[in-house]
Structure 1
Amino acid sequence: MIEIGKYNILTIDRETSVGLYLTNGEDDILLPNKYIPKQYELGEEIEAFVYLDQQERPVATTLKPYILLNGFAALRVSFVNKYGAFLDMGLEKDLFVPFREQARPMEEGKRYIVYMYLDEKSNRLVGSSKTSQFTDNENLTVQEGEEVSLIVTHTTDLGINVIINEQYTGLLYKDEVYKDLRMGERLKGYIKNIRPDNKIDVTLQKAGVEGIEPNAAKILQELEEGRGFLGLNDNSHPEDIKTVLQMSKKAFKKAIGSLYKQRLIAIKDDGIYLAEKDDV
């Protein structure tokens, strides 16, 4: 079955005046002329996203949507009418979010985190900004220390709320984040703590000794890009370290300590240098 709201691997079956017809062996779907690749052959497989066009007919496209079925994304409102809001999802047709699915009234030009689902009654793709109804921390399959994917949703007094693996909700504490995060931004994180009530704390750094490694690698990269010199050391102000490296002073000191022990850097009064034999 060809799935609406998802990428499908389909075979180019035949050419027509309006485009290529693709098939999965059972069902056919049109890939309009404007989306046809420059080079193709009949019988060749192609990946295409399937959605409903303005006439509510299934159609294939090679455009890349900003959101997939049963997924979350931050989308901008194109316009609002008496039925609801229409959000730009990267295709010719916008994603419809009815008023009943808006956590708060949407405004044209603003971005919102939404979930896209297939409405069973109309068989149409619909969005909802009431995202909590599509996450559930009751039955967790993640473990502490596990690497996960995160989507930034909003900031509270405690920290930054995130969606984990597009299934669960979690929290990044403000004092553990050393760079600006945008709503809808996707990034890699780690499960820091799972509380008795199944609330999840996440972090952007690996725990323990392993947590030093990404920071050490970042410092080496900065040294290489700076021709072997970085104007920071133990006495640098925490804000300067945060601005340049997006890490805390504590993490910075641990990282340069590790690099120094490995004889990879030399620490001097004016900053850090890539090590030479005479330095270590």
Structure 2
Amino acid sequence: MDWKTSGGTQGSQNMNNRDNDAVTTVNMFKPSTVATLKVARKNEMGAFLDAQTGNTSNDILLHKTQQTAPVEIGDMVKVFLYKDPKGRLTASMRVPRMKEGQIARLKVINLSEDGAFLDAGAERGIFLPFAGTRGALKLGDYVWAKLYTDKSGRLAVTMKVEDEIRRASKSAIGAAHVGDKIDGSVYNLTDKGAFVFTTERYIAFIPEKEMAEHPHVGAEVTARVTYIREDGRLNASLRPIKEKAIDIDAAMLLKAIAAHDGKIPYDDKTPPEIIKNRFHISKAAFKRAVGHLLKNGIVMEKDGWLILVDDKKD
């Protein structure tokens, strides 16, 4: 009895161990990962890839529509794994176009409460956790992102790419000049300004005061170089040169005055922060625009107000 009981217990333990091994093997492959698997068999639906469990019912379907080239039994195929609408692990030969650690501008194809999904060329979007986002994202945006493997072993992306962009950038010294126009995209936005990676691979900083309107992260911008720094980076502006800016700012103020019954409670003594919050221009730019309107007799100042001059009055 003791021997049978002992043997039965041992046999039961062995079965449990085999079951645990099988479970472990089944869970070896996860969605949002890339794997190289062997084609075990084929049928009219497509190919079945060996999931390495010893149980053909666990094999992973590589549907005909998910094949970018014909496959044969015995082939080793690199695939992207994801879950189909029924929750089954499925394979596609459309793998991410980028490698782990690389950065690229990727399209936002879906948004959720937990983050977003970006198109990296795989069969399904790659998850961008909320903690890895920069700014408010919109569908269709293109943003700089890096591919990495998260703690669970799945592929993910992050918009925290400052170090990677710094390593990929080049110096603008001797190549760019003050007044040059530069094209690029915003990869980070702070309360001090916007950081842009240009098509020439320069890093440009646009101070907050040099932005009439704040671009969103991912926005493509054309800026004007205002300063070349010793470290090879650029300072730039989204505002036109001063002469043109006066006309633009004056027109903006005139529109605001006309929209408020011909007068607004602002003048030379209004604090700079109020001017900035209301009109999104500096106090100096405000004074230049007001001076332009005063000089041309379009407005007048009275008791802390800017008042539109009525030409019909004598």
Please tell me the residue identity of whatever aligns with 1:204: L
- Asked if residue 201 in structure 1 is aligned to residue 231 in structure 2, the reply is no
- Identify the residue that residue 35 of structure 2 maps to in structure 1: none
- Identify the residue that residue 235 of structure 1 maps to in structure 2: 269
Render the CA deviation track for 1:158-200: whole Å, top value 9, x for unaligned: 7543223473211233565677665434544321012355321
- Identify the residue that residue 144 of structure 2 maps to in structure 1: 114
From 207, 223, 242, give the equivalent of 1:189. 223
Listed as ranges, the gaps of 5+ residues in structure 1 are 1-29, 31-53, 59-68, 98-105, 118-125
- Identify the residue that residue 118 of structure 2 maps to in structure 1: 88
- Asked if residue 263 in structure 1 is aligned to residue 297 in structure 2, the reply is yes
For residues 108 and 89 of structure 1, the distance between their equivalents in structure 2, rounded to whole angstroms, comes to: 16
For residues 261 and 88 of structure 1, the distance between their equivalents in structure 2, rounded to whole angstroms, comes to: 53
RMSD: 4.7
- Identify the residue that residue 145 of structure 1 maps to in structure 2: 179
Question: Equivalent residues in 2 for 1:1-280 (5 A)?
Answer: 55-56=92-93, 71=105, 87-89=117-119, 94-96=124-126, 107-108=129-130, 110-112=132-134, 114-115=144-145, 129=161, 130-138=164-172, 142-154=176-188, 160-165=194-199, 167-174=201-208, 182-195=216-229, 197-277=231-311
Secondary structure of the structure 1 residue equivalent to 2:297? coil
Deviation at 1:228, TM superposition (A): 2.8
User: 2:202 touches 2:233 (CA, 8 Å); kept in 1?
Assistant: no
User: 1:115 touches 1:131 (CA, 8 Å); kept in 2?
Assistant: no
Deviation at 1:279, TM superposition (A): 7.6
Pick the structure with greater CA Rg. Answer: 2
Question: Which has the larger helix fraction?
Answer: 2
Secondary structure of the structure 1 residue equivalent to 2:269? coil
For residues 90 and 264 of structure 1, the distance between their equivalents in structure 2, rounded to whole angstroms, comes to: 55
The alignment covers a number of residue pairs equal to 199
- Identify the residue that residue 123 of structure 1 maps to in structure 2: none
Q: What is the TM-score normalised by the length of structure 2?
A: 0.47
